């Protein structure tokens, strides 16, 4: 990320973005909740990326340099919170589960301008209560600092369906599977299979937002069958790839 814009306040508003649209790297003095009411939003920092469909939101702490990417027709809801008001006490970007109630609260809060009314204050208070109760989701795809891991991860980013073992990939980048396994744990805090699954799920969310059929998504992301993909997806997100939140206006999500 090069030219970094500094935006003192994180706006509370709704934006409609076309597929594959990007909001370039910037930072706010405020915290921000990023939510895709339709489509999928990706938030990227130097530490990795976080991808969220309409059943998830992304917490971005104040001062974090980040960029947004739109996948599918994106209805982006942004909630700004003063740096002095941190309901989650989190200092790194985090994916949060979004209940049906929290979804409606976010949409209502970003739809209308802040008029300073008591009704607006009550809506905000309930929204914050729901945020505090939202479970955190392990949907971070970290970016390695090790040159060896970067080379290996770039191979799999280019083709998430690549099913080679760590030893086979190691021969291509010039390292043993033992060395690479140690690097995954030390550099990324997860095992190679865990990282590859995260990569495939991230890629799957993007393909689904683009209305790619589930069977095709499974194949492109490296699962042996659609049923195997659906099983992993359900265990991760709590619903099948074809689930649509109530009153959603877009595909999937």
75, 63, 77, 3: which is closest to 33 by C-alpha?
A: 77
Tally of domains within the chain: 2
- Domain harbouring 201, CATH code: 1.10.10.60
Phi-psi region of 174 (alpha: psi -120 to 50; beta: other; left: phi over 0): left
Average pLDDT of the segment spanning 222-237: 95
Read off the pLDDT of residues 133-161 as tens digits, 9 standing for 90 and up: 999 887 899 999 999 999 999 999 999 99
Confidence of residue 245 (pLDDT cuts 50, 70, 90): low
- Structural domain boundaries enclosing 211: 145-237
Same domain? For 9 and 133 the reply is yes
Confidence (pLDDT) at 88: 86
In this structure, the strands spanning 22-28 and 5-7 are parallel
Question: Which CATH number covers residue 89?
Answer: 2.60.120.810
Q: How confident is the model at residue 1 (pLDDT cuts 50, 70, 90)?
A: very low
Contact 253, 39 (CB under 8 A): yes
Q: Same structural domain for residues 90 and 196?
A: no
50 part of a folded domain? yes
79 & 161 share domain = no
| Residue 250 in domain | no
Q: Residue 123: inside a domain, yes or no?
A: yes
Would you state the pLDDT for residue 233?
A: 95
| DSSP states along 37-92 | EEEEEEEEETTEEEEE-TTEEEEE-TT--EEEEEEEEEEEEEEEE-TT--TT---S
To the nearest whole number, what is the mean pLDDT of the chain? 90
Residue 245 lies in a domain: no
Same domain, 9 and 105: yes
Indicate if 76 and 196 belong to the same structural domain. Answer: no
- Shared domain for 220 and 101, answered yes or no, is no
Q: Are residues 124 and 178 in the same domain?
A: no
**Looking at residue 249, what is its pLDDT?**
43
């Amino acid at each position: 990320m090069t030219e970094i814009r500094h935006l003192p306040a994180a706006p509370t508003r709704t934006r409609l973005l076309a597929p594959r649209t990007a909001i370039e790297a910037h930072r706010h003095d405020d915290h921000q909740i990023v939510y895709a009411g339709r489509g999928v939003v990706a938030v990227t920092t130097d530490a990795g990326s976080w991808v969220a469909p309409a059943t998830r939101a992304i917490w971005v702490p104040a001062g974090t340099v980040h960029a947004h990417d739109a996948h599918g027709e994106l209805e982006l809801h942004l909630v700004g919170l003063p740096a002095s008001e941190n309901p989650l006490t989190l200092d790194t970007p985090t994916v949060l589960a979004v209940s049906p109630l929290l979804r409606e609260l976010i949409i209502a809060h970003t739809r209308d301008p802040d008029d300073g009314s008591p009704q607006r204050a009550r809506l905000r208070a309930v929204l914050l209560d729901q945020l505090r109760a939202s479970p955190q989701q392990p949907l971070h795809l970290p970016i390695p600092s090790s040159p060896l891991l970067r080379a290996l991860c770039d191979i799999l980013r280019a083709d998430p369906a690549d099913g080679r073992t760590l030893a086979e990939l190691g021969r291509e980048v010039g390292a043993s599977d033992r060395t690479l396994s140690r690097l995954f744990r030390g550099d990324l805090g997860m095992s190679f299979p865990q990282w590859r699954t995260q990569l495939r799920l991230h890629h799957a969310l993007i393909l689904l937002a683009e209305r790619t059929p589930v069977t095709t998504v499974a194949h492109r992301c490296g699962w042996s069958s659609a049923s195997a993909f659906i099983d992993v997806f359900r265990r991760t997100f709590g619903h099948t790839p074809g689930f649509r939140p109530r009153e959603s206006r877009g595909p999937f999500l």
